[in-house]
Amino acid sequence: MSKINIISVQGTDISITNFNGVDYICLTDMVKAKDDVVRAADIIKNWLRTRTTIEYLGTWESIYNTQFKVVEFDHFKKEAGLPTFTMSVNNWVEKTNAIGIFSKSGKNGGTYAHKDIAFEFGGAISPMFKLYVIKEYQRLKEIESNQYGLEWNVKRILSKANYQIHTDAVKKYIVPKSGYTQAKEWIAYADEADLLNLVLFRCTAKQWRELNPERTLNNENIRDMASINELAVLSSLENLNSILIKNGISKRERFKILNETAKEQLENLDKMDLLKSIKKESYSIYVDALEKPKKE
Protein backbone atom coordinates (compact mmCIF):
# COMPACT_ATOMS: atom_id res chain seq x y z
CA MET A 1 0.00 0.00 0.00
CA SER A 2 1.48 3.32 -1.01
CA LYS A 3 0.99 6.82 0.33
CA ILE A 4 -2.41 8.46 0.55
CA ASN A 5 -3.49 11.24 -1.82
CA ILE A 6 -6.37 13.56 -1.03
CA ILE A 7 -9.02 15.16 -3.23
CA SER A 8 -11.56 17.67 -1.95
CA VAL A 9 -15.14 17.22 -3.14
CA GLN A 10 -17.78 19.71 -2.04
CA GLY A 11 -15.75 20.54 1.05
CA THR A 12 -15.06 16.91 1.98
CA ASP A 13 -11.56 15.39 1.90
CA ILE A 14 -11.52 11.98 0.24
CA SER A 15 -8.51 9.68 0.52
CA ILE A 16 -7.05 7.76 -2.43
CA THR A 17 -4.51 5.00 -1.93
CA ASN A 18 -2.55 3.10 -4.56
CA PHE A 19 -2.29 -0.68 -4.36
CA ASN A 20 -0.26 -2.60 -6.94
CA GLY A 21 -0.33 0.42 -9.24
CA VAL A 22 -4.12 0.84 -9.03
CA ASP A 23 -6.02 3.68 -7.31
CA TYR A 24 -8.58 2.85 -4.63
CA ILE A 25 -10.91 5.60 -3.34
CA CYS A 26 -12.16 5.69 0.25
CA LEU A 27 -15.92 5.07 0.33
CA THR A 28 -15.98 5.88 4.05
CA ASP A 29 -14.76 9.40 3.28
CA MET A 30 -17.31 9.74 0.48
CA VAL A 31 -20.14 9.05 2.95
CA LYS A 32 -18.99 12.05 5.01
CA ALA A 33 -20.05 14.35 2.18
CA LYS A 34 -23.70 13.36 2.58
CA ASP A 35 -24.08 11.77 6.00
CA ASP A 36 -22.62 11.24 9.45
CA VAL A 37 -19.33 9.32 9.27
CA VAL A 38 -20.51 7.22 12.25
CA ARG A 39 -23.11 5.65 9.96
CA ALA A 40 -20.65 5.06 7.12
CA ALA A 41 -20.30 1.31 7.73
CA ASP A 42 -24.09 0.83 7.77
CA ILE A 43 -24.57 2.89 4.61
CA ILE A 44 -21.92 0.89 2.76
CA LYS A 45 -23.46 -2.39 3.97
CA ASN A 46 -26.92 -1.27 2.77
CA TRP A 47 -25.46 -0.40 -0.61
CA LEU A 48 -23.71 -3.77 -0.81
CA ARG A 49 -26.83 -5.82 -0.14
CA THR A 50 -28.78 -4.58 -3.16
CA ARG A 51 -29.06 -6.76 -6.25
CA THR A 52 -27.87 -3.91 -8.48
CA THR A 53 -24.65 -3.51 -6.50
CA ILE A 54 -23.94 -7.26 -6.28
CA GLU A 55 -24.44 -7.63 -10.03
CA TYR A 56 -22.18 -4.66 -10.73
CA LEU A 57 -19.42 -5.90 -8.41
CA GLY A 58 -19.64 -9.42 -9.83
CA THR A 59 -19.48 -8.16 -13.41
CA TRP A 60 -16.47 -5.98 -12.63
CA GLU A 61 -14.64 -8.85 -10.93
CA SER A 62 -15.45 -11.21 -13.80
CA ILE A 63 -13.75 -8.80 -16.21
CA TYR A 64 -10.68 -7.87 -14.17
CA ASN A 65 -10.13 -10.72 -11.70
CA THR A 66 -9.15 -14.14 -13.04
CA GLN A 67 -9.31 -15.62 -9.51
CA PHE A 68 -12.88 -14.46 -8.90
CA LYS A 69 -15.17 -17.21 -7.55
CA VAL A 70 -18.15 -17.07 -9.89
CA VAL A 71 -20.09 -19.83 -8.10
CA GLU A 72 -20.12 -17.86 -4.85
CA PHE A 73 -21.11 -14.76 -6.78
CA ASP A 74 -24.09 -16.55 -8.34
CA HIS A 75 -25.21 -17.59 -4.86
CA PHE A 76 -25.07 -14.01 -3.59
CA LYS A 77 -26.85 -12.73 -6.68
CA LYS A 78 -29.80 -15.05 -6.02
CA GLU A 79 -30.02 -13.94 -2.38
CA ALA A 80 -29.47 -10.21 -2.98
CA GLY A 81 -32.43 -7.99 -2.16
CA LEU A 82 -34.18 -10.49 0.11
CA PRO A 83 -35.05 -9.25 3.63
CA THR A 84 -32.78 -11.92 5.14
CA PHE A 85 -29.79 -11.07 2.93
CA THR A 86 -26.87 -9.30 4.58
CA MET A 87 -23.47 -8.44 3.21
CA SER A 88 -20.24 -6.87 4.42
CA VAL A 89 -17.10 -5.96 2.52
CA ASN A 90 -15.01 -8.56 4.33
CA ASN A 91 -17.60 -11.28 3.68
CA TRP A 92 -17.72 -10.41 -0.02
CA VAL A 93 -13.92 -10.49 -0.31
CA GLU A 94 -13.48 -13.72 1.67
CA LYS A 95 -16.19 -15.65 -0.15
CA THR A 96 -15.52 -14.51 -3.72
CA ASN A 97 -11.81 -13.63 -3.62
CA ALA A 98 -12.73 -10.14 -4.84
CA ILE A 99 -10.08 -7.49 -5.47
CA GLY A 100 -12.21 -4.45 -6.32
CA ILE A 101 -13.09 -3.45 -2.77
CA PHE A 102 -11.54 -3.96 0.66
CA SER A 103 -11.61 -2.67 4.24
CA LYS A 104 -8.61 -1.74 6.33
CA SER A 105 -8.25 -0.72 9.96
CA GLY A 106 -5.84 1.61 11.72
CA LYS A 107 -4.53 4.90 10.39
CA ASN A 108 -6.26 5.92 7.15
CA GLY A 109 -8.65 3.03 7.74
CA GLY A 110 -12.02 2.56 6.08
CA THR A 111 -13.53 0.90 3.05
CA TYR A 112 -11.67 1.47 -0.21
CA ALA A 113 -12.83 0.58 -3.72
CA HIS A 114 -11.36 0.63 -7.20
CA LYS A 115 -12.21 3.92 -8.87
CA ASP A 116 -14.78 2.25 -11.15
CA ILE A 117 -16.63 0.91 -8.12
CA ALA A 118 -16.15 4.12 -6.11
CA PHE A 119 -17.75 6.15 -8.90
CA GLU A 120 -20.69 3.73 -8.90
CA PHE A 121 -21.01 4.19 -5.13
CA GLY A 122 -20.88 7.96 -5.63
CA GLY A 123 -23.84 7.69 -8.00
CA ALA A 124 -25.81 5.92 -5.26
CA ILE A 125 -25.11 8.86 -2.95
CA SER A 126 -25.94 11.50 -5.54
CA PRO A 127 -25.48 11.78 -9.35
CA MET A 128 -24.13 15.30 -8.85
CA PHE A 129 -21.70 14.11 -6.17
CA LYS A 130 -20.49 11.31 -8.49
CA LEU A 131 -19.69 13.83 -11.22
CA TYR A 132 -17.75 16.03 -8.79
CA VAL A 133 -15.74 13.02 -7.56
CA ILE A 134 -14.86 12.09 -11.16
CA LYS A 135 -13.93 15.68 -11.95
CA GLU A 136 -11.59 16.07 -8.95
CA TYR A 137 -10.05 12.64 -9.51
CA GLN A 138 -9.28 13.51 -13.13
CA ARG A 139 -7.76 16.81 -12.02
CA LEU A 140 -5.47 14.95 -9.60
CA LYS A 141 -4.37 12.56 -12.37
CA GLU A 142 -3.54 15.48 -14.68
CA ILE A 143 -1.34 17.04 -11.99
CA GLU A 144 0.43 13.72 -11.37
CA SER A 145 0.95 13.19 -15.08
CA ASN A 146 2.60 16.59 -15.47
CA GLN A 147 4.74 16.00 -12.37
CA TYR A 148 5.95 12.56 -13.47
CA GLY A 149 6.69 13.87 -16.94
CA LEU A 150 8.85 16.57 -15.40
CA GLU A 151 10.53 14.00 -13.11
CA TRP A 152 11.39 11.86 -16.13
CA ASN A 153 13.03 14.85 -17.82
CA VAL A 154 15.00 15.67 -14.66
CA LYS A 155 16.24 12.06 -14.46
CA ARG A 156 17.23 12.11 -18.13
CA ILE A 157 19.18 15.35 -17.73
CA LEU A 158 20.90 14.19 -14.55
CA SER A 159 21.98 10.91 -16.13
CA LYS A 160 23.71 12.75 -18.97
CA ALA A 161 25.02 15.81 -17.10
CA ASN A 162 28.56 14.58 -16.39
CA TYR A 163 28.70 11.61 -18.77
CA GLN A 164 30.86 13.44 -21.33
CA ILE A 165 33.24 14.72 -18.64
CA HIS A 166 33.71 11.17 -17.35
CA THR A 167 34.31 9.57 -20.75
CA ASP A 168 36.74 12.33 -21.72
CA ALA A 169 38.81 11.61 -18.61
CA VAL A 170 38.88 7.90 -19.47
CA LYS A 171 39.89 8.70 -23.04
CA LYS A 172 42.75 11.03 -22.05
CA TYR A 173 44.18 9.31 -18.98
CA ILE A 174 43.21 5.62 -18.95
CA VAL A 175 42.94 4.44 -22.57
CA PRO A 176 46.55 5.47 -23.47
CA LYS A 177 47.89 3.42 -20.54
CA SER A 178 45.53 0.46 -20.94
CA GLY A 179 47.35 -1.27 -23.78
CA TYR A 180 44.03 -1.94 -25.54
CA THR A 181 43.89 -1.78 -29.32
CA GLN A 182 41.49 0.74 -30.82
CA ALA A 183 38.96 -2.04 -31.32
CA LYS A 184 39.15 -2.93 -27.64
CA GLU A 185 39.10 0.59 -26.17
CA TRP A 186 35.44 0.11 -25.20
CA ILE A 187 36.60 -2.23 -22.42
CA ALA A 188 38.27 0.68 -20.61
CA TYR A 189 35.05 2.73 -20.74
CA ALA A 190 33.00 -0.28 -19.60
CA ASP A 191 35.37 -0.95 -16.70
CA GLU A 192 35.03 2.61 -15.41
CA ALA A 193 31.26 2.58 -15.90
CA ASP A 194 31.10 -0.66 -13.89
CA LEU A 195 33.24 0.87 -11.17
CA LEU A 196 30.46 3.40 -10.65
CA ASN A 197 27.80 0.68 -10.98
CA LEU A 198 29.47 -1.36 -8.25
CA VAL A 199 29.69 1.66 -5.98
CA LEU A 200 26.09 2.73 -6.48
CA PHE A 201 24.14 -0.43 -7.40
CA ARG A 202 26.42 -3.16 -5.95
CA CYS A 203 26.62 -5.06 -9.24
CA THR A 204 28.07 -4.72 -12.72
CA ALA A 205 26.02 -4.13 -15.85
CA LYS A 206 26.59 -7.76 -16.90
CA GLN A 207 25.46 -9.11 -13.53
CA TRP A 208 22.33 -6.97 -13.72
CA ARG A 209 21.53 -8.25 -17.23
CA GLU A 210 21.90 -11.85 -16.07
CA LEU A 211 19.49 -11.21 -13.19
CA ASN A 212 17.00 -9.30 -15.37
CA PRO A 213 16.73 -11.10 -18.74
CA GLU A 214 13.22 -9.77 -19.50
CA ARG A 215 14.23 -6.15 -18.94
CA THR A 216 17.35 -6.73 -21.03
CA LEU A 217 15.18 -7.95 -23.91
CA ASN A 218 13.27 -4.66 -23.64
CA ASN A 219 16.56 -2.78 -24.06
CA GLU A 220 16.53 -1.60 -20.44
CA ASN A 221 19.75 -1.31 -18.47
CA ILE A 222 20.83 -1.01 -14.87
CA ARG A 223 20.70 2.79 -14.91
CA ASP A 224 17.16 2.88 -16.32
CA MET A 225 16.02 1.39 -13.02
CA ALA A 226 17.74 4.03 -10.86
CA SER A 227 15.77 6.40 -8.67
CA ILE A 228 16.15 10.14 -9.14
CA ASN A 229 18.30 10.28 -5.99
CA GLU A 230 20.58 7.55 -7.36
CA LEU A 231 20.89 9.37 -10.67
CA ALA A 232 21.80 12.57 -8.85
CA VAL A 233 24.55 10.73 -7.00
CA LEU A 234 25.67 8.99 -10.22
CA SER A 235 26.10 12.36 -11.88
CA SER A 236 28.18 13.53 -8.92
CA LEU A 237 30.29 10.33 -8.96
CA GLU A 238 31.04 10.71 -12.67
CA ASN A 239 32.38 14.19 -12.05
CA LEU A 240 34.37 13.09 -8.99
CA ASN A 241 35.82 10.03 -10.71
CA SER A 242 36.98 12.14 -13.66
CA ILE A 243 38.91 14.38 -11.23
CA LEU A 244 40.44 11.38 -9.45
CA ILE A 245 41.47 9.85 -12.78
CA LYS A 246 43.17 13.09 -13.84
CA ASN A 247 45.08 13.12 -10.55
CA GLY A 248 46.39 9.60 -11.13
CA ILE A 249 44.58 7.99 -8.18
CA SER A 250 44.63 4.18 -8.37
CA LYS A 251 41.44 2.30 -9.16
CA ARG A 252 41.41 0.65 -5.73
CA GLU A 253 41.72 4.00 -3.96
CA ARG A 254 39.16 5.59 -6.26
CA PHE A 255 36.68 2.84 -5.40
CA LYS A 256 37.13 3.55 -1.69
CA ILE A 257 36.65 7.31 -2.13
CA LEU A 258 33.67 6.92 -4.46
CA ASN A 259 32.04 4.38 -2.17
CA GLU A 260 32.26 6.66 0.86
CA THR A 261 31.00 9.61 -1.19
CA ALA A 262 28.04 7.67 -2.59
CA LYS A 263 27.01 6.42 0.83
CA GLU A 264 27.12 9.90 2.33
CA GLN A 265 25.27 11.57 -0.54
CA LEU A 266 22.54 8.92 -0.71
CA GLU A 267 21.93 9.17 3.02
CA ASN A 268 21.54 12.93 2.72
CA LEU A 269 19.34 12.80 -0.36
CA ASP A 270 17.11 10.09 1.07
CA LYS A 271 16.24 12.51 3.87
CA MET A 272 14.85 14.97 1.37
CA ASP A 273 12.83 14.97 -1.84
CA LEU A 274 14.64 16.40 -4.86
CA LEU A 275 11.25 17.12 -6.37
CA LYS A 276 9.86 18.70 -3.20
CA SER A 277 9.65 22.14 -4.76
CA ILE A 278 8.03 20.68 -7.86
CA LYS A 279 5.44 18.80 -5.82
CA LYS A 280 4.79 21.89 -3.70
CA GLU A 281 4.22 23.94 -6.82
CA SER A 282 1.90 21.29 -8.26
CA TYR A 283 -0.04 21.22 -5.00
CA SER A 284 -0.33 25.01 -5.02
CA ILE A 285 -1.72 24.92 -8.55
CA TYR A 286 -4.21 22.28 -7.43
CA VAL A 287 -5.32 24.33 -4.40
CA ASP A 288 -5.64 27.47 -6.52
CA ALA A 289 -7.79 25.55 -8.98
CA LEU A 290 -10.03 24.42 -6.13
CA GLU A 291 -10.32 27.89 -4.68
CA LYS A 292 -10.98 29.66 -7.98
CA PRO A 293 -14.65 28.65 -8.32
CA LYS A 294 -15.28 29.95 -4.79
CA LYS A 295 -13.78 33.35 -5.62
CA GLU A 296 -15.85 33.61 -8.77
Q: Within its chain, how far is the Cα of 128 from the centroid? A: 30
Q: Are residues 266 and 168 in the same domain?
A: yes
DSSP 39: G
Q: How far apart are the first and last CA of the chain?
A: 38
**pLDDT tens-digit series, residues 139-170:** 888 877 766 666 666 666 666 667 888 899 99
| CA dist., res. 197 & res. 190, Å (int) | 10
Q: Are residues 194 and 99 in the same domain?
A: no
| CA dist., res. 224 & res. 66, Å (int) | 32
The pLDDT value given to residue 182: 86
Mean pLDDT of the chain: 84
Domain membership of residue 238 as a residue range: 162-276
The pLDDT value given to residue 295: 41
**pLDDT tens-digit series, residues 174-216:** 999 888 888 889 999 999 999 999 999 999 999 999 988 877 7
Task: Read off the amino acid at residue 267.
Answer: E
Q: Are residues 134 and 198 in the same domain?
A: no
Q: Are residues 120 and 209 in the same domain?
A: no
**pLDDT tens-digit series, residues 264-295:** 998 887 776 544 444 444 444 444 544 444 44
Does residue 293 lie within any of the structural domains? no
Does residue 148 lie within any of the structural domains? no
Cα four-point dihedral sign 197, 203, 207, 213: negative
Mean per-residue pLDDT for 108-116? 90
Q: Are 198 and 208 in contact (CB under 8 A)?
A: no
Tell me which of 18-32, 208-222, 255-269 is least confident: 208-222
The pLDDT value given to residue 2: 57
Total tally of structural domains belonging to the chain: 2
Does residue 252 lie within any of the structural domains? yes
The pLDDT value given to residue 100: 95
Mean per-residue pLDDT for 11-24? 87
Mean per-residue pLDDT for 32-49? 83
- pTM listed for this prediction: 0.52
Q: Are residues 113 and 169 in the same domain?
A: no
User: 114: alpha, beta or left, given left = phi > 0 and alpha = psi -120 to 50?
Assistant: beta
Does residue 282 lie within any of the structural domains? no
The pLDDT value given to residue 159: 61
Contacts of 61 (CB under 8 A, 6+ apart): 68, 73, 96, 98, 99, 100
User: pLDDT-derived band of residue 60, with 50, 70 and 90 as boundaries?
Assistant: very high
Share of the chain above pLDDT 90, in %: 51
210 to 187, 196, 213, 214: CA distances (angstroms): 19, 18, 6, 10
The pLDDT value given to residue 119: 95
- Name residue 22's beta-bridge partners: 19
The pLDDT value given to residue 279: 43
SS3 5: strand
